Structures are given as structure tokens and as C-alpha cells.
Amino acid sequence: DIQMTQSPSSLSASVGDRVTITCRASQTISNYLNWYQQKPGKAPKLLIYAASSLQDGVPSRFSGSGSGADFTLTISGLQPEDFAAYYCHQSYSTPITFGQGTRLEIK
């Protein structure tokens, strides 16, 4: 199974900050990497697919990069609505796996 390790597990930041979340796969997964945002009590929302493609309707302050085994999600200019949990997700092979999540909190 491919293990997905996100870091950090939690992060405190202020409105306007630039933050980066990393995700490392236990083996190479090409660009089969997606990022989701989840707010309390809600379903996750797709932000980035195929490592760096922005999902329709997602603000351009979100960006993704990486290939192989190391990936990053960057939020440039945090907005109040961005404080949430973020998950990476590999769809390279089954069993499909998610990172353990990163909780982004207001400082």
C-alpha cells in the first residue's frame, strides 16, 4: 500500500500569510495526487487535481506542485474562509489512500 505522509499535522497562521503543506508518498506516484479542503461538518471539496491543476471555481491563491513522491499545496494570501483541514490523496493505485490531514488554524 502507498502511505501518504502530510506535514505539518497542524498549522497556525494569520490572514494574509502564505502557507505550504507538504505530502510525501512512500513510493513514486507520478502526478496522481489531489488536494481537498474540508470544513467542520461538511464534505471535502476538491482544490487541486493531478498535482497542479486548479479545480474549476477554486480561487487562484491555491496552487499545487510536485511530481514523483513529493508534493506541496500552497495558499498565498490566506483568507478567513481558508481555515479548515486539508488532505492529500493518491489515486495512482489501489488501495487509494489519503494523508492524515493538516488542520489550518487562525493564529
Binding site for other proteins (CB under 8 A): 31-34, 36, 38, 43-46, 49-50, 53, 55, 87, 89, 91-92, 94-101
Pick 16 or 40: Cβ nearer other proteins: 40
How far apart (Å, rounded) are the C-alpha atoms in residues 64 and 88?
11
Query: Cβ 61 to other proteins, closest distance in Å?
Result: 20
The alpha carbon of 66 is separated from its chain's Cα centroid by a whole number of angstroms, namely 12
* Closest-CA residue to 92 (of 36, 29, 39, 3): 29
Query: Cβ 76 to other proteins, closest distance in Å?
Result: 22
